[in-house]
Amino acid sequence: MSMSDGPIYYFDNNATTRVAPEVVEAMLPFLTEQWGNPSSAYSFGNEVGEAVDNARAQVAALINAEPREIIFTSCGTESDNAALSSALQTQPGKRHVITTAVEHSANIKYGQMLEKRGVEVTWIPVDRAGQLDVHEVHEAIREDTAMVSVMMANNESGVIFPIEEIVAICRIKGVPFHTDAVQTPGKIKLDVKALGVDHLSLSAHKLHAPKGIGCLYVRHGLPYQPYVLGGGQESGRRGGTENVANIVAFGKAAEMAVDSLGAEVERVRALRNRMEEGILETIPGVTRNGAKEPRLASTSNLSFADCEAEAILLLLNREGICASSGSACTTGSMAPSHVLIAMGLSPEHAMGAVRFSLSKYTTDAEVDYLLEKLPGIIEKLRGASPKTEQSAAEAVHS
């Protein structure tokens, strides 16, 4: 797709976020003058190493961890994969893991790979509201369970899971617990000590830093087997020369995410509610997918009856509006979102779902613009009745 001429109205912050100008400023010296290797013995490298240490402390502070408990990785996906990998490798007798049916594809695909290798995976289901039953996690834990991995908040529905309760169960049973908290910085207060989690994944591009940098928190004292083997970087826990500029950016963004809690997140919540209520009031046949609460302040997932999300997104795109559907393109055709299907939506209902996700940069004017454009788009698509794929396609191409 070519660059858009007009302004962009961005409602896809759960997919990625704008890099904060302060973050760009913080990382730039490490792309220009300070390009040394942090592992080098001379001071030109050491100074860069100090910047990495500083960033590690900033990221640790975001989740109330100790700096030595943070391992920088290439992304949230790597962090998720690394947690499950380490749990199985450090406990060779244990061949069972528990996760949910609505995890990010990082966990889903890794779990499916494990199943092919003879590891048993229990996929905890969710109800229509996108919520899981803690009791089912409890029931699923066995003698040979190597890890329980449950995301903190869902990237599609925004639904927040009762992590504290699940951790309490895992503690009693003596099973390590990992949470994918990628969607939460700046939205939920994070405290690994209070939560009691063993592993936690983050990804910087979901909190206004660049793509390609993430971290895994590993509670001090927990055995850990590296996922990427190589040099002695990250205290021997993750090989590969440090992505210094991105690490510095992540540190700055982590510091800023702490400041986004409180008044800022409440502004986003009010804005999201105004957007959601505005859509529900002005357009008939719209339903919210997932519980109203507890939910991320940024997220709204709505199904539009008799409309295909892909057609809605195409027409929104023409107006400069960016949003997304949870559906995935698999071998040339669209498959409905695994999250919405797990919630019990019919495939048709799931294929009409659009996710709007906001950030601290989302303005009132952007929401006004969306509320102005969306009703006409839905009317146009529905007017292309009878609702065949062809007529929707005609509406899109007219």
- Nearest distance in Å: CB 313, ligand PLP: 18
Report, as residue numbers or ranges, the catalytic residues.
329
Say whether residue 75 binds ligand PLP (CB under 6 A).
Answer: yes
Burial (CB < 10 A; 0-12, 13-18, 19+), residue 241, is: exposed
Distance (Å, rounded) from C-alpha 105 to C-alpha 338?
9
- Nearest distance in Å: CB 75, ligand PLP: 3
The span of 70-78, 119-127, 142-150, 363-371 binding ligand PLP (CB under 6 A) equals 70-78
Contact at 8 Å (CB) between 48 and 391?
no
Binding mask 82-101 for ligand PLP (x = CB under 6 A): --------------------
Distance (Å, rounded) from C-alpha 333 to C-alpha 226?
37
Lookup result for tokens 């369970």: 145
Q: Name the residue nearer to ligand PLP (CB basis): 176 or 185.
A: 185
Burial 169-196 (b: 16+ CB within 10 A, else e): bbeeeebbbbbbbbbbbbbbebebeebe
- Nearest distance in Å: CB 195, ligand PLP: 17
Chain positions 346 to 365 lying near ligand PLP, rule: CB under 6 A, are none
Contact at 8 Å (CB) between 130 and 355?
no
Candidates 73, 393, 395, 26; CA nearest to 233 is 73
Distance (Å, rounded) from C-alpha 264 to C-alpha 300?
18
- Nearest distance in Å: CB 366, ligand PLP: 21
Number of residues that bind ligand PLP (CB under 6 A): 16
Q: Name the residue nearer to ligand PLP (CB basis): 107 or 145.
A: 107
Name the strand (E) or helix (H) holding 203.
Answer: strand 199-203
The span of 135-143, 176-184, 240-248, 266-274 binding ligand PLP (CB under 6 A) equals 176-184
Say whether residue 12 binds ligand PLP (CB under 6 A).
Answer: no
Chain positions 99 to 118 lying near ligand PLP, rule: CB under 6 A, are 104, 106
- Give DSSP secondary structure letters for 98-139: EEETTS-HHHHHHHHHHHHTT-EEEEE---TTS---HHHHHH
What is the number of other CB atoms lying within 10 angstroms of the CB of residue 149?
25
The span of 128-136, 198-206, 313-321, 366-374 binding ligand PLP (CB under 6 A) equals 198-206
Distance (Å, rounded) from C-alpha 20 to C-alpha 210?
9
Say whether residue 183 binds ligand PLP (CB under 6 A).
Answer: yes
The span of 1-9, 34-42, 178-186, 292-300 binding ligand PLP (CB under 6 A) equals 178-186
Left, alpha or beta for 258 (phi > 0: left; psi -120 to 50: alpha)?
alpha
Chain positions 152 to 171 lying near ligand PLP, rule: CB under 6 A, are 155
Distances (CA, A) of 353 to 159, 302, 337, 394: 15, 5, 9, 20
The residue number whose beta carbon is nearest to ligand PLP equals 76
Q: Name the residue nearer to ligand PLP (CB basis): 76 or 336.
A: 76
Say whether residue 182 binds ligand PLP (CB under 6 A).
Answer: yes
Residues near ligand PLP (CB under 6 A) are 14, 75-77, 80, 104, 106, 151, 155, 180, 182-183, 203, 205-206, 214
